Amino acid sequence: MNQNLGPFQFENSLLWNTILENLSAAVEVETSQAIAGETQGEERIHQCGRAAGLTDFGAHLVHLRETALNDMN
């Protein structure tokens, strides 16, 4: 896949840091709901999937940024 990595080639960004912090907080919320005692059956599976999806999306964004920065060098 040929991706435009230009937007990920920035030095420092308050927006980037805020996005990652909010993704991390969302993962914590989804994980807490998934392991809560009152969460049962399919609801638990659904919450785990939400946490996994957010984690994967965050990892993908970080990977894009790392790839973009490596391409700059």
d(CA 45, CA 66): 31
| Residue 73 pLDDT > 80 | no
Domains in the chain: boundaries: 13-72
The pLDDT tens digits for 10-41 are 989 999 999 999 999 999 999 999 999 999 99
In this predicted structure, what is the pLDDT of residue 2? 75
d(CA 67, CA 23): 20
pLDDT tier, 71 (very low <50, low <70, confident <90, very high otherwise): confident
**Assigned token pair, 44:** 């638990």
